Amino acid sequence: MSTDDLKREAARAALRHVEDGMRLGLGTGSTAEHFVDLLAERVRGGLKVTCVSSSERTQAQAERLGISLTTLDAMPELDLYVDGADEIGPGLSLIKGGGGALLREKIVASAARRMIVIADESKLVPVLGAFPLPIEVVPFGLEATRIAIVRLAGRLGLSGLMLVRGATNGHVFVTDGGHRILDCHFSHIDNPAELAAGLTAIPGVVEHGLFLGLASAACVAGPGGVRVIDRA
Ligand SMILES: O=C[C@H](O)[C@H](O)[C@H](O)COP(=O)(O)O
């Protein structure tokens, strides 16, 4: 089974938690894309759900597939949010934002009663940080914000490259909210809660990719099948 097959199996497992009439949040990324595809099949079969997208990319896919969409303003409380992750650590702590959608993803996840993470098993890690942590920052004063993050990291015993994300067209990557992303190569984040609190206190930081206490369960697919991990 390829990694892509595993992602689809994880998405299929999460779909079992979707019920008629639900208000759903749709994630972003290659795994979430499978979920949206499979959801569309169920919708064509008669399932009634109303969805909110966490990115322009997912919005376009869901629209194309005929899924009923609304905005988070029109439907501010959701039953379920399903999304992928870049890393799944202890207690279902997550790193997200590899696709640059972390800000909207976190807003949508926070509006949902439950969040189910879908992933292939390569995303499971004993400690977060091997995947560079995406931090969304406003373009104004980006260098000052970067220095503030470096100082915070130093106080917490973290170090590593901190790179402004580039886009495939050679330009700088711009998020759906018009911001930039700093990818922070910390390699080991031993105390994610402390880092998250410090980042939130820096004025130029819009949001960071540490999702702590948000995921209720994870459907993790491996060659032996899909394992459901509940947050302890
Ligand atoms: O910004 C993107 C999201 O946080 C994705 O959910 C995350 O990067 C995982 O993406 P994928 O399913 O493509 O590995």
Strand-pair category, 225-230 with 133-137: unpaired
In the residue annotation, 56 being an active-site residue is answered as no
User: Which residues neighbour 218 within 8 Å (Cβ) at sequence distance 6 or greater?
Assistant: 85, 88, 92, 116, 117, 118, 119, 228, 229
Give the ipTM of the model, two decimals please: 0.98
Burial of 65 (0-12, 13-18, 19+ CB in 10 A): middle
What is the rounded (10 degree) CA torsion for 60, 133, 103, 174? -60
Mean pLDDT of 179-196: 98
Angle at CA 194, nearest 5°, toward 192 and 200?
95
For residue 209, give both structure tokens: 């990719």
232 pLDDT band (50/70/90 cuts)? confident
Give me the helices (H) in the chain, please. Answer: 3-15, 30-44, 56-64, 102-110, 142-155, 192-200
All domains of the chain in start order, with CATH = 3-125+212-223 (3.40.50.1360), 133-206 (3.30.70.260)
Cα 46 to Cα 200: distance, rounded to the nearest angstrom: 43
C-alpha 116 – ligand 1 centre gap (Å): 13
Strand-pair category, 180-184 with 112-120: unpaired
For residue 127, give both structure tokens: 């400690």
9, 33, 87, 105: the active-site residue: 105
Q: What is the pLDDT of residue 221?
A: 98
**Half-sphere exposure of residue 186, counting CA atoms within 13 Å on the CB side?**
26
100 pLDDT band (50/70/90 cuts)? very high
Q: What is the pLDDT of residue 115?
A: 98
pLDDT tens across 108-146, in order? 999 999 999 999 999 999 999 999 999 999 999 999 999
C-alpha 158 – ligand 1 centre gap (Å): 24
DSSP string, 41-109: HHHHTT---EEEESSHHHHHHHHHTT--B--TTTS--EEEEEE--SEE-GGG-EE--TTS-HHHHHHHH
Q: Which of 6, 26, 28, 136 to mutate to test the pocket of ligand 1 (most atoms within 8 A of CB)?
A: 28
Of 11-20, 165-174, 178-187, the one with minimum mean pLDDT is 165-174
Q: Are 215 and 115 in contact (CB under 8 A)?
A: yes
For residue 99, give both structure tokens: 């696709």
| pTM of the complete model | 0.97
pLDDT tens across 210-221, in order? 999 999 999 999
Q: Which residues line ligand 1 (CB under 6 A)?
A: 27-32, 83-86, 96-102, 105
pLDDT tens across 3-58, in order? 999 999 999 999 999 999 999 999 999 999 999 999 999 999 999 999 999 999 99
CA gyration radius for the chain? 17
Sequence letter at residue 229: I
pLDDT tens across 44-99, in order? 999 999 999 999 999 999 999 999 999 999 999 999 999 999 999 999 999 999 99
- Does residue 97 have a known ligand-binding role? yes
The CA-atom distances, in angstroms, between 159 and each of 89, 107, 181 are: 20, 28, 17
Q: What is the pLDDT of residue 12?
A: 98
168 pLDDT band (50/70/90 cuts)? confident
